[in-house]
Structure 1
Amino acid sequence: MLIKKLKTFVSLIIALPFVLYLLTLAGCVSAPYEQPTGKVFKPAVSGTYHCVQKGQTLWRISKIYDVDLDELTRINNLSESSTIEIGQKILIPGKKSVRQASANSFDDFIWPIKGQVVGSFGQTSSNMVNKGLNIKPYSDNNVIASRSGKVVFYSDSFGVYGKTVIIDHGDGFSSVYARNSEVYIKPGDAIEKGIVIAKAGSAGRDTNIYLHFEIRKGSNPQNPYYYLSD
Structure 2
Amino acid sequence: SNSKSGGQADGVYTVSGGDTLSKIARKYDVSVDALKAANDLNGSNIRIGQSLVIPAAGAEMVDRSTTASVNKATSPKAYTPPVSAGDDSVAAKTKSDIASIAPAGTGIDKFRWPARGQVITGFAKTENGKRNDGIDISLPAGTPVKAAENGVVIYSGDGLKEYGKTVLVRHDDGLVTVYAHAQDLNVTRGDKVVRGQVIASSGMSGVAKTPRLHFEVRKNATPVDPTKYLE
Calculate the TM-score normalised by the size of structure 1: 0.51
1:3-18 to 2 correspondences below 5 Å: none
Q: Match of 2:218?
A: 216
Structure 1's consecutive aligned runs of 4 or more residues displaced over 3 angstroms after TM superposition are 104-107, 204-207
Name the amino acid aligned to 1:186.
T
Q: Does 1:114 align with 2:116?
A: yes
* Deviation string, structure 1 residues 152-187 (Cα, Å, up to 9, x no partner): 112224211100110000212010000000000001
RMSD: 1.8
Q: Match of 1:177?
A: 179
Return closer, same or farther for 1:140/1:126 CA change in 2, 3 Å cut-off: closer
| Aligned counterpart for 1:154 among listed residues 149, 153, 156 | 156
Q: Are the aligned partners of 2:118 and 2:138 in contact in 1 as well (CA < 8 Å)?
A: yes
| Aligned counterpart for 1:123 among listed residues 110, 125, 129 | 125
The separation in 2 between residues aligned to 1:179 and 1:208, in whole angstroms, is 10
Q: CA deviation at 1:140?
A: 6.6
1:33-182 to 2 correspondences below 5 Å: 106-137=108-139, 141-182=143-184
Q: Are the aligned partners of 1:115 and 1:138 in contact in 2 as well (CA < 8 Å)?
A: no
The separation in 1 between residues aligned to 2:153 and 2:172, in whole angstroms, is 11
Q: Are the aligned partners of 1:150 and 1:190 in contact in 2 as well (CA < 8 Å)?
A: yes
In structure 2, stretches of 5+ residues that fail to align are: 1-105
Q: CA deviation at 1:218?
A: 1.2
In structure 1, stretches of 5+ residues that fail to align are: 1-103
Give percent identity, aligned residues only. 37
Would you say how many aligned residue pairs link Structure 1 and Structure 2? 126
* Deviation string, structure 1 residues 39-74 (Cα, Å, up to 9, x no partner): xxxxxxxxxxxxxxxxxxxxxxxxxxxxxxxxxxxx
- Greater mean deviation of Cα atoms: 116-125 or 201-210: 201-210
Q: CA deviation at 1:151?
A: 0.4
Name the amino acid aligned to 1:199.
S
The separation in 2 between residues aligned to 1:199 and 1:119, in whole angstroms, is 19
- Paired residue secondary structure (1:225): helix
Q: CA deviation at 1:147?
A: 0.7
The separation in 1 between residues aligned to 2:208 and 2:142, in whole angstroms, is 20
Return closer, same or farther for 1:126/1:167 CA change in 2, 3 Å cut-off: same
Q: CA deviation at 1:127?
A: 2.7
Q: CA deviation at 1:206?
A: 3.8
Q: Are the aligned partners of 2:155 and 2:168 in contact in 1 as well (CA < 8 Å)?
A: yes
The separation in 2 between residues aligned to 1:166 and 1:173, in whole angstroms, is 10
Calculate the TM-score normalised by the size of structure 2: 0.51
The separation in 1 between residues aligned to 2:208 and 2:113, in whole angstroms, is 23
The structure with the larger Rg is 2
